[in-house]
Chain A
Amino acid sequence: MELGSSQHAGDRVTAASEMGNPTSSSAVQKGKKTAPSKKASATSKKASAASKRSAPTMDSTLSVKRKDQLDKNDQHTRKKPKTLDEHTEEELLLLRNEISQILEPLQVQLHAIINAFPQYKKEPWYTALETRRELVQVLPSQVRRWEEFALRPELSSFKRAGLPFTLAEEDRGDSDYKLIEAKFIDLERCLRDTVGETKEPPAPSTYCFGRPYRRCQFNPQMAVRDGRTGAAPVALELLHFSFRTFTYWSFINPYPLPGSPAYLSETREIDKKAFIRVYQAANQLLFSMPQLYTAHDDRLGDFKKALLLIFPENEDYQWRTNMSADQNFSESGAVRYKVDLVYRHRHTRVPLIFVEVKLELGEGGNPFWQNHRLYQSYIKKNLHSRHNGAPVFLVQLCGMTFQCCDFYISNAFISRNTSRDRWGVL
């Protein structure tokens, strides 16, 4: 069951707008019924005339009515791209936030150089830097797709702009030259890093939406082997003992009823106290998780409380909230992306469990896909962890709202955004 395959933030928006939309098909039918009664009423002749002016085909012939109905249906179908836009707006906002974060070091560098050497205001390289700073500032609002980000001319090399170290020897004649040259080398390095980041898959919070996920999965360099594209991966149970242990214990009855055949033939030893704690945690989850939460952190906090019953913090293990799942010995700095909850070894910081929680089902993308990307970014930074395969359990929780793909409520068609592509009609 691929729960997240149709989790789009826009689904709820679509459903809500459909149900509350006065121009939906039910509302159109109501309008058709009420129009003749208005015409029959003597007191509402003026209103009828006004309505005729505004909708002249309402009480005309059947064919005209059909024409009108078609128009309204067209209006109804034209609403769909609007909800699609609403859906993409959320993704676009996340994308722009991410791009702003990526561009921040570059902006700081540009700002520093421009402020440090005001005496060169008339030099072409100085004005070129000023122009570049202005353009980089507005760049996040210009980008609409991740792919076009790296290709933007604002991120082209600075060397084209007549920089001081490209000047002839006789034109230099300045004691600041070496300092300016060093700053420009820093700036070029920062620019290379920025462009390098654009070739990475997007951040987990963007990746977890359907479109970026599909785009990355079709790119072999970015793909995660999850059985969706390409050859089916080897089952995890065959790759590491911990996964086999999980599937073994989760698919049998761990604590059979006393007196039952399973109980009598039971030879495994169960830690009864631990089992009671697990039972309490499950009970707590079944009580708390179906509640409506107003904030993501509230749901996360309650989920963590239940997990603490099973995995309490001690001198070896700890839970960390909203923190990168990183080991101490990462050569190139900590992982930039943060996990909602991570259970890890206290001293070595080896993560064992990633937890990703969504407030409601379909809000903010698919938590499993988000965990994909978090895991991918973790093993990319921590190459040492790959020696034993870096086994990590990924726990994802998504909230309460109905998940809908394609179905009808009354006569309103609730649809995924892709329905238009799939069926060609609505």
Chain B
Amino acid sequence: MLLSQGTHLGIGGGFCDAVDNNKPPIVLQLGGYVNLQYDYVGRNLREAVNTLWGLYEAVNRIPLYVFLT
């Protein structure tokens, strides 16, 4: 397998569903990697914008208490 050349941006998430110390956390990739390089059709730019917009919405639009409590 040969992946496309480029700098790759990936977004993942970590979540711990156990209060005690016994269960390991869940760490998963949220979607695939985005190739951060201009291409002819603009697909990489569109994917980068969508990914970063998703991150913006997830972090900025959610009230802080969701993360704190």
Spell out A's residues near B (CB within 8 Å): 1, 3, 220, 222-227, 233-236, 239-243, 245-254, 274-275, 278-279, 281-283, 285-287, 289-290, 310-311, 316, 343, 345, 348, 350, 352-354, 361, 367-368, 371-372, 375-376, 379-380, 383, 385-400, 402-407
Contact partner of B26 (CB less than 8 A), chosen from A234, A251, A254, A283, is A234
Which residues does chain A contribute within 8 Å of B9, judged by CB atoms?
285, 289, 395-397
Least distance between B46 CB and chain A CB atoms (Å): 8
Among B52, B57, B62, B66, the most chain A Cβ lie within 10 Å of the Cβ of B52
Interface residues of chain B, those whose CB is within 8 Å of chain A, are: 1-3, 5-19, 21, 24-33, 36-38, 44-45, 48-62, 64, 66-69
Chain A residues whose C-beta falls within 8 Å of the C-beta of B12 in the assembled complex: 368, 371, 393-396
Q: Separation in Å of the A284 CB from the closest CB of chain B?
A: 10
Contact call B38/A286, Cβ cutoff below 8 A: yes
Q: Are A225 and B8 in contact (CB under 8 A)?
A: no
Check A283–B7 contact: CB distance below 8 A.
Answer: no
Q: In the bound complex, what is the Cα–Cα distance between A368 and B8 (angstroms)?
A: 11
Check A390 against B14 for contact (C-beta < 8 Å).
yes
Query: In the bound complex, what is the Cα–Cα distance between A13 and B17 (angstroms)?
Result: 40
What distance in Å separates the Cβ of A417 from its nearest Cβ neighbour in chain B? 16
Cβ contacts A to B, 5 pairs, < 8 Å? A1-B32, A239-B26, A311-B56, A368-B10, A386-B16
Could you say which of B14, B37, B60 contacts A391, with CB atoms under 8 Å apart? B14
Report the separation of the CA atoms of residues A290 and B8 in the bound assembly, to the nearest whole angstrom. Answer: 9
Residues on B with C-beta less than 8 A from A287 are: 38
| Max chain A C-beta neighbours (<10 A), residue from B2, B9, B62, B67 | B67
Docked pose: A105 CA to B9 CA in angstroms: 38
**Quick one: given A236-B26, A254-B53, A345-B64, are A243 and B2 in contact (CB under 8 Å)?**
no
B67 touches A224 (CB 8 A): no
**Residues of A contacting B19 with CB < 8 Å?**
383, 386-387
